[in-house]
Amino acid sequence: MRVCAYELPDAGQDYLRFLKQFGIDDVVLSSRSHPDAAQRFSAENADSAGAHWDVEDLELVRDRCVKAGLKVVAIENPVPACCYDKIMLGQPGRDQQIENIIVTIRNMGRADI
């Protein structure tokens, strides 16, 4: 079993160093880890073409973790529920939400996550 911890965007490098000192090697991101999460994943933008993780944003967060000796191994809920609600409910806008998830997964691969 491997123990992971959440990367908390507001905690800073001290928190990441603490995790490493505590014996944690892997971290998990969430939609809150995105540098511009409030705007990018807002309810107003939930089914727009930009509601996904860009490679550059993934690399930025990944590099911050790597600097502390940690590896990003996953993104749990890469977008908040408002960005996939239309998928679950079969509503108009679901195709764009699906595309945003696809783009995020592809970009995770490009960012080596």
Angle between helices 55-67 and 94-110 (to 10 degrees): 40
* Segment of 27-36, 40-49, 57-66 carrying the highest mean pLDDT: 57-66
Each residue's pLDDT tens digit, 82-108 = 999 999 999 999 999 999 999 999 999
The angle subtended at Cα 92 by Cα 89 and Cα 93, nearest 5°, is: 95
* Domains held by the chain: number: 1
pLDDT band at 13 (very low <50, low <70, confident <90, very high): confident
Domain of 60? 4-110
Contacts of 105 (CB under 8 A, 6+ apart): none
Question: What was the pLDDT predicted at 99?
Answer: 96
Is pLDDT of 60 > 80? yes
pTM for the model: 0.86
pLDDT for 7: 83
